A and B are shown apart, each in its own frame.
Chain A
């Protein structure tokens, strides 16, 4: 199974400041079709997870443009350009190249 490792596991950020989360996979997520199947989710308190970013850097419908994704191969980053109060929750990366799908441990973002 592909192991997904996120750092840090928690973040405390002042509104308006940037934030960054790292996700590393134990195997390359680059598929033979040229696409890299790394996706980012946010689970807000009391809610189900929702897609933010798919295929490393594409923003999902409705995701604010302050969220961006980057990376390749096995190393990926989610960035929030200016954190807002509504961004609190737990962020997860997930690999979509192999079954079983596997998730990172989650990064909890709180507002200072």
Chain B
């Protein structure tokens, strides 16, 4: 059975950093592009970033470009999101998600990131 399990969320001060992880199981992780999507009550579902199967291609939303870095370790079946220079507006539940034929077909349970002093 497919599982995506995020971890690493928490409370951080503005300007701080966090690294999110997503452990994948139940499918061939290295064969799929992967996404991070975030959700807040104010903005709804917002796509954050996508990474290719081998990690050579990455894409970011303008709102996080230059501050966030997506990466993956296919040997460990793990997706990452390094988040720097965090702002209050980055507060959200962050989902790890799998890309399949242009849709996002599987989502993790999410990890909450709160940016506040």
> Considering only CB atoms, which chain A residue lies closest to B63 in the complex?
A100
Given A103-B44, A103-B47, A105-B44, verify A96-B108 contact (CB < 8 Å). Answer: no
Size class of A's contact patch? 20 to 34
User: When the two chains form the complex, which single residue of B59, B61, B110 contacts A48, counting CB atoms closer than 8 Å?
Assistant: B110
Stretch in contact with the other chain, from B18-26, B74-82, B84-92, B99-107: B99-107
Chain B binding surface SS class: strand
How far, in Å, is B11 (CB) from chain A's closest CB? Answer: 21
Contact with A along B21-37 (1 / 0, CB 8 A): 00000000000000101
Stretch in contact with the other chain, from A11-19, A49-57, A77-85: A49-57
Number of interface residues of B (CB under 8 A): 20
- How far is B107's CA from A99's CA once the two chains are assembled, in angstroms? 18
At the interface, yes or no: B72 with Cβ under 8 Å from chain A?
no
- How far is B109's CA from A97's CA once the two chains are assembled, in angstroms? 25
> Considering only CB atoms, which chain B residue lies closest to A90 in the complex?
B44
